Amino acid sequence: MRFLPVSDTAVMVEAADLDESTRLFTALVAADLPGVREVVPAARTILVVLDPRVTSPAELVGRLRTVEPASGVASGGRSVTVEVRYDGQDLDEVAGFLGCSVDELVRRHQAATWTVAFTGYAPGFGYLVADDASFDVPRRPSPRTRIPAGSVGLAGKFSGVYPRESPGGWQLIGRTDAVMWDIDRDPPALFAPGTTVRFRQADRELVPVRDAPAAAVDSAHAVEVVSPGVQLLLQDPGRPGHLAEGVAPSGAADRGALRTANRAVGNAPGAAALELAGGGAVLRFTGAGVLALAGAGIDASLRAADGTRVPVPAARPVAVEDGDELRLGAQHDGLRTVVAVRGGFDVPAALGSLATDTLSGMGPQPLRAGDRLALHGPAAAPHAVDPGPHPPPALPARGRVVELDVVLGPRTDWFTPAALETLTAQEWEVTARSDRVGLRLAGEVPLERARDGELPSEGAVTGAIQVPPDGQPVLFGPDHPLTGGYPVIGAVVDAHLDLVGQLPPGARVRFRPRAPFAEL
């Protein structure tokens, strides 16, 4: 086994093959090592996320060396049949890779018995391996930004089904209306490690499932979304502890801004708040309350029922009365503004969190005009108000250069020495094709690989810098896929992730290498 640096909060164990990786995952879970927060299995690797308050990467590796893979792994025992309409846009290309006709490809995909080796990427996404060894399909040279929910794909030796619309680089051969993840189902995931899967030709047209309209809210204290702006979400610190199930922590893109806004109104630091990206929102209040803003600098004012307006400063509590409207205009520094309300939001949680995960669909849906969110009311605030205000941190802006510390690894050996130099010597522009899933960066010189071929899917952390074959990096945000097959050249350190969450399109990034932990 090899031990590879990932970030200042994670290390990676590389096994010989899928079998050893699976047995090692079983052993690591049973070992319950001090300082280990989460363990994420993949094709040949185990991602181990650590608590830096308890252990360091180097200390953890010393403990990991003492763990021997388990002698065997219990089967999941379940069998699932998935109906597929084979109309994927990559059918012809995949048939060409495998040297057969489209009809033969479809026949072989259905004839094979597939087994869920591990889960990841997103909730409900299973990596399936076949008893037909001929399936070996390269990923697309550049990932698509939108793949429809239910898409059936192939990549490497794996097949899988996208649980919901998301980006991805797999070759698409069909689609299904099977629900891969349902938090109200027991268990929520249709696919679990060890489950056997058979694919069958669908004999009817698939019908897309529409989101149900938001339920009406009847509360003495509420916030109504008059206009959601570019993107308006509920966020809190997220839902850690579910990585092995394919559930990302998600959570506020700027954790410091969430804490600041909550402290200003007397909430617990991790209470849920609204996260506005891009500006342009209008919120109307039912009942009296107290709000505060933090994060991106923004033109904000409070409009009373009589038409009078007062400016809303950052990081200070501001009283609101019944019928008042908070108007959030243009942002001039950063990208995301946090709006905290005293008492917090009275909204059902998903796995203990109100965070909206835009990739997996976990948590409340992105807010739309007409949505009303119930509030607990100002009397529910349990903490004293921060006497601040504190000077806001310097935030990124369009055209401004931001330096981010990175730990190189785990796949630096996939790149040429020139690429490693380019990564840290060149400025990278944040493109408009960026969101909470990932920031697509553009540089004058792309990063050159030292090797061709496919990397077996493996775990990645928030802040990971993944490099598709076109050499233009993708910097993973809080809603990133948990596993992927493009090599990761490094990761932004935890202390700089809030800056990443505030990078607007047009901002420029320079990566500054930080020495990784001692040679492993």
pLDDT in tens, the chain (520 residues): 899 999 999 999 999 998 899 889 889 989 999 999 999 888 899 999 999 999 999 999 999 999 999 886 655 568 999 999 999 999 999 999 999 999 999 999 999 999 998 888 788 899 999 999 999 999 888 888 899 999 999 998 899 999 988 888 899 999 999 999 998 888 889 998 889 999 999 976 555 444 444 444 568 999 999 999 999 999 999 999 888 777 889 999 999 999 999 999 999 999 999 999 999 999 999 999 999 999 999 999 999 988 899 999 999 999 999 999 999 999 999 999 999 999 999 999 999 999 999 988 899 999 999 999 999 988 877 787 877 667 777 899 999 999 999 999 999 999 999 999 999 999 999 999 999 999 999 999 999 999 987 788 899 999 999 999 999 999 999 999 888 889 999 999 999 999 999 999 999 999 999 877 544 4
Distances (CA, A) of 328 to 295, 296, 356: 13, 11, 21
Report d(CA 302, CA 329) in Å as an integer.
11
- Token pair of 213 as six digits: 């309209």
Block residue for tokens 């992105």? 366
Provide the 10 A C-beta neighbour count for residue 34: 12
Structure tokens at 220: 């003495």
Beta carbons of 492 and 500 less than 8 angstroms apart:
yes
Amino acid at 341: V
Q: Which residues contact 317 (CB under 8 A, 6 or more apart)?
A: 264, 265, 266, 290, 291, 292, 342, 385
- Amino acid identity, residue 501? G
| ∠ Cα 462 465 466 (to 5°) | 110
Tell me if 326 sits within 8 A of 302, measured CB to CB.
yes
Q: What is the pTM of this model?
A: 0.86
Residue 420 carries which side chain, given as an amino acid letter? L
Neighbouring C-alpha atoms within 13 Å toward the C-beta of 212: 4
Tell me the sheet residues that pair with 222.
286, 374
CA distance 161 to 118: 13
* C-alpha separations of 415 from 192, 212, 420, 487, 519 in Å: 34, 46, 7, 9, 19
The answer to whether residues 360 and 168 touch, using CB atoms and an 8 Å cutoff, is no
CA nearest neighbour of 189 among 340, 345, 80, 46 = 80
Q: Are 40 and 46 in contact (CB under 8 A)?
A: yes
